[in-house]
Amino acid sequence: MIPLKGHLLVIGAHAGDVENMAGAVVLKHVRAGCTATVVHMTLGEAGHPTLAPAVYAEQRRQEIEASGRLMGAKVLALPYRDGLLPKTEEVIWQVCDIIRQEKPDVLLTHWKGSIHKDHIATHELVQEAIFFAALPAIERTLPAHRVRHVYYPENWEDMEGWRADVYLDAGDIWEEYLAVLRSHALMRGGVSSFRYLDYYDALGTTRGCLGGFRKAVALMAPPGSWVQRMEFLPALLSAA
């Protein structure tokens, strides 16, 4: 296969979101030659039943570094507090600047139909940042960059109105993906009552069944991209 060379940017609300919703997508494309940057808007430091947020934050920082190494991705962590991600212009400019700096061909982030306010905030902040990053009239240190393709990966907390538009074969990197998940205590169990590893491993099987692969991940395309423009129906163009 010819090596790929695009750049993938994934933006998640909490440490671990990038990994569980997009770890397989990152691995798949990095192994094929792409580069990737992952951004954690917060460290998800408020979710531990016994550890103080400051202590858990340090653990989470080590976990995102470890999972970033396993995925072969550059890791950025923003300084916002778990549960308190602010929807302000300052944050939008910060994400806008990251987009202009990283120049992704494809960006993945949360779908807006979420049960978690930080996930909804991330969706909204990123949508606005994509818009401003592409406008030459918005003068920042770096020149404008237009993100051509956005997808919303599958996340158990973001399922309201989400739909599977793309099935991506993840069979060849699935064990590496599980290793990425296991590099976070949250996924291994004992921190949350949610069975992350069981859920995402079983989801890979379910999406694989539906997509015709051993293991697969599904992505949602933005509603505006559902329209296809063509002169003839492809099946009739290719019919012998």
Cβ proximity to Zn ion: between 126 and 133 the closer is: 126
Both tokens of 45, joined, read 């430091």
> What is d(CA 68, CA 55) in angstroms, rounded to the nearest whole number?
20
Q: In the complex, which residue's CB is closest to Zn ion?
A: 14
Cβ proximity to Zn ion: between 87 and 148 the closer is: 87
Both tokens of 50, joined, read 């016994």
> What is d(CA 235, CA 232) in angstroms, rounded to the nearest whole number?
9
Q: Which of residues 2-31 bind Zn ion (CB under 5 A)?
A: 13-14, 17
Distance in Å, CB of 212 to Zn ion, minimum: 30
110 near Zn ion, judged by CB under 5 A: no
158 near Zn ion, judged by CB under 5 A: no
Cβ proximity to Zn ion: between 13 and 34 the closer is: 13
Q: Are strands 74-80 and 35-42 parallel, antiparallel or unpaired?
A: parallel
> What is d(CA 156, CA 110) in angstroms, rounded to the nearest whole number?
11
Cβ proximity to Zn ion: between 13 and 170 the closer is: 13
> What is d(CA 213, CA 208) in angstroms, rounded to the nearest whole number?
4
Residues 6+ apart with CB under 8 A from 108: 8, 9, 10, 11, 21, 22, 25, 150, 151, 152, 153, 219
Cβ proximity to Zn ion: between 13 and 120 the closer is: 13
Distance in Å, CB of 130 to Zn ion, minimum: 20
85 near Zn ion, judged by CB under 5 A: no
> What is d(CA 24, CA 18) in angstroms, rounded to the nearest whole number?
10
Distance in Å, CB of 155 to Zn ion, minimum: 7
The number of residues that bind Zn ion (CB under 5 A) is 3
Residues within the interface to Zn ion (CB under 5 A): 13-14, 17
